[in-house]
């Protein structure tokens, strides 16, 4: 099954200047718990923004070029892999856009903020295709910049 997971601000911003525009420890813990033991697939820019491969997960980069530092797959190979195992698309914006139509589940954390000059955006969730199956509002913890809402969207 192909799934997506991302955090965005109230306007859909997911990135600014190649980085997350907030510090949300609670969301990072949710991301880790949700993706641990699974395959995570990302674009080259997302891979290069990470300090190290995400531990406890198979890391794959969507690329047309081979790399020595990580497994590489094409878009079609990713779609085939998702038929046999759980796969999480973890960014960035272009990769989310490519796979939104293939996704069965979307985990979206809405960060209660509005980022100025954001340059990377989450895909729109079409409410005719997806339904909100769960939602939890969480107050900012001591290591969070903002309150947040955890949402799970399931394809109808």
2-155 domain in CATH 3.40.430.10? yes
Instruction: Identify the weakest region by mean pLDDT among 61-65, 81-85, 106-110, 113-117.
Output: 61-65
Q: Residue 76 in contact with residue 93, Cβ under 8 Å?
A: no
Strands 148-155 and 58-62, how do they pair?
unpaired
pLDDT band at residue 18, thresholds of 50, 70 and 90? confident
Q: Which one is predicted more confidently, 80 or 49?
A: 80
User: Could you read off the pLDDT of 23-36 as tens digits, one per residue?
Assistant: 999 999 999 999 99
Q: What is the pLDDT, as a whole number, of residue 63?
A: 87
Q: What is the pLDDT, as a whole number, of residue 41?
A: 98
Strands 2-8 and 105-111, how do they pair?
parallel
Domain ranges of the chain: 2-155
pTM greater than 0.75:
yes
Q: Residue 90 in contact with residue 32, Cβ under 8 Å?
A: no
């Amino acid at each position: 099954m192909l799934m997506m997971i991302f955090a965005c601000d109230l306007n859909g911003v997911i990135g600014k200047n190649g980085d997350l525009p907030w510090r949300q420890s609670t969301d990072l813990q949710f991301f880790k718990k949700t993706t641990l033991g699974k395959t995570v697939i990302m674009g080259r820019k997302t891979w290069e923004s990470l300090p190290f491969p995400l531990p406890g997960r198979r890391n794959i980069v969507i690329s047309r070029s081979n790399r020595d530092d990580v497994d590489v797959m094409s878009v079609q190979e990713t779609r085939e892999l998702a038929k046999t195992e759980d796969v999480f698309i973890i960014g960035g914006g272009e990769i989310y856009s490519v796979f939104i139509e293939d996704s069965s589940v979307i985990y979206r954390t809405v960060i209660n903020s509005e980022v100025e000059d954001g340059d990377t955006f989450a895909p729109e969730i079409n409410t005719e295709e997806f339904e909100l199956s769960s939602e939890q509002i969480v107050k900012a913890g001591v290591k969070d910049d903002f309150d947040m809402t955890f949402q799970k969207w399931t394809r109808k």
